Structure 1
Amino acid sequence: MPKASRKKAVRSKTTASKAKPAAKPDSLRLTELGALERAAECLKALAHPHRLRMVQMLLQKDFAVGELAEACSIPSHMASEHLRLMQRCGFLSAERDGRRRYYRVAEPHLASILACVETRFGVEAVRAAS
């Protein structure tokens, strides 16, 4: 057997021995595809650095739009749009107090999602300017 053929035979034998048998689809625990599509749409609402920062803050206490905008160094109208998007997905709720609108976390699992992000990408302590 030529040298190249022997190497190929060894590789395919090694690969075949490491391959796991395919699981039958009916034996797997799977979420309905429609539910996964809705989940993907809502997760897109978190896929922005300013939104993630806002959620980090809101997991600690309620904030007004202006406070969140200042912490993210963006104009208030942009912060409002980010907040509305997350509110539409059910992640946040808001309450008026006079002319101010205060946001809070409405989805209890949001803390777990953020913990996963922070664990994966690191957490830096940032002191907010008073």
Structure 2
Amino acid sequence: MEEGLQHFKADFFKALAHPLRIRILELLVDGEKSVNEIQSCLEIEGSAVSQQLSILRAKNIVYGTKDGKRVYYSLRDPMIVELLDVARKIFNNHLINTISRLEEMAVSESNDGIS
């Protein structure tokens, strides 16, 4: 059972492991969008957007609803919003830690030059 969960998590994170797919998900946080709307917001050609949506759809991260000739995509699980928010917070923590280390190094180097 635990091994199945670990495989699910690995496959899930693999599906998220592309900057364009993350950008698409961030757009869908605000609600459903058509492929054309996604293309327009991201200023990316349609084939690239469609390819990434196909991967997200195959992993049940997004789903499409047809309305005439248009397909509108939405997040399958609202917890994706929380996941993206947590990822942003983790990034910010890493950034803050990196800045702090750089500042410490700069202070250390300037103190070494004072002798």
TM-score in same-fold range (> 0.5): yes
Between the aligned residues of both structures, percent identity stands at 27
TM-score (normalizing by structure 1)? 0.65
CA-atom RMSD, angstroms?
1.5
Q: Is 1:114 the equivalent of 2:87?
A: no
Aligned to 2:5: 35
Instruction: Name the aligned partner's letter for residue 86 of structure 2.
Output: C
Deviation at residue 73 of structure 1 after TM alignment:
2.5
From 29, 46, 57, give the equivalent of 1:59: 29
Deviation at residue 64 of structure 1 after TM alignment:
0.6
Structure 1 stretches of 4+ moved >6 Å: none
Instruction: Name the aligned partner's letter for residue 102 of structure 1.
Output: Y
From 71, 82, 85, give the equivalent of 2:52: 82
Structure 1 residue runs without a partner (length 5+): 1-30, 123-130
Aligned to 1:93: 63
Aligned to 1:26: none
Deviation at residue 51 of structure 1 after TM alignment:
0.9
Aligned to 1:70: 40
Structure 2 residue runs without a partner (length 5+): 93-115
Structure 1, residues 75-102: CA drift from partner, whole Å, max 9, x if none? 1111011111111111111111111110
Instruction: Name the aligned partner's letter for residue 67 of structure 2.
Output: D
Aligned to 2:106: none
Query: How many equivalent pairs are there?
Result: 92
TM-score (normalizing by structure 2)? 0.72
Structure with higher helix content = 2
SS at match of 1:45: helix
Structure index of larger Rg? 1
* Alignment partners' CA distance in 1, 2:36 and 2:47: 9
SS at match of 2:31: coil
Q: Which has the higher contact order (CA 8 A, sep 6+)?
A: 2
